[in-house]
Amino acid sequence: MHFNPYGGTAAQLAAALVNARADGCAEVLLAVLREQRYKPVGALSAADARRLSDWAWRLEPVFAGGVDRVGHVNALLAETAARPYISVHDDRPPHLHFADEAASTLVRVRAFTAAGLAHVVCEEPDRLGRCGREGCGVVYVDTSRNGRRRYCSTRCANRLQVARHRSRRAS
């Protein structure tokens, strides 16, 4: 599956933030941003880190599918008041931004992730999911070719299959 590079990257960042369960820890959130190749603007204050953690928790229902995804993402977009524009910086080709480049990391990440999830919800909403293994709460963006991913990792899929196999052998 080839996502629009903006939507795909932003949706992946949204999933990473949800999975981080950072509970307001600025260091963890900054590490997630760097791991996802998102350039933070300066440090995160303790208050911004708490707000970003709260934002991540608000993104989670979009992956779980237990809500009206369109309505939920529209509410997130409205809150960010995103204003798309084309930017060229750091010798990169033209690309979309949904918040001013000089805005705080919190403002930029919120607009970025809301817009990215909106793109996926419009194009392929079934590509957003939560691991199918009981007890695993990891969310993901399915970028597989066939779009049939149901687990966060091969490890979770294997655990479930081994448990099913053992249960059949025992009976």
Maximum average pLDDT range among 38-42, 141-145, 157-161: 141-145
Residue 63 lies in a domain: yes
Residue 17 lies in a domain: yes
Nearest residue to 127 (alpha-carbon basis) of 147, 101, 156, 157: 147
Residue 167 has a pLDDT of 73
Chain segment 20-39, per-residue pLDDT in tens: 988 889 999 999 999 999 98
Predicted TM-score (pTM) of this structure: 0.86
Residue 61 lies in a domain: yes
Residue 2 has pLDDT above 70, yes or no: no
Residue 168 lies in a domain: no
Residue 149 lies in a domain: no
CATH code: domain of residue 73: 1.10.3300.10
Local confidence band at 42 (pLDDT 50, 70, 90 cut-offs):
confident
Total domains present in the chain: 1
Nearest residue to 65 (alpha-carbon basis) of 115, 120, 113: 120
Q: How far apart are CA 128 and CA 139, in angstroms?
A: 8
Domain with 84, as residue range(s), is 5-125
Chain segment 100-119, per-residue pLDDT in tens: 888 899 999 999 999 999 99
Residue 138 lies in a domain: no
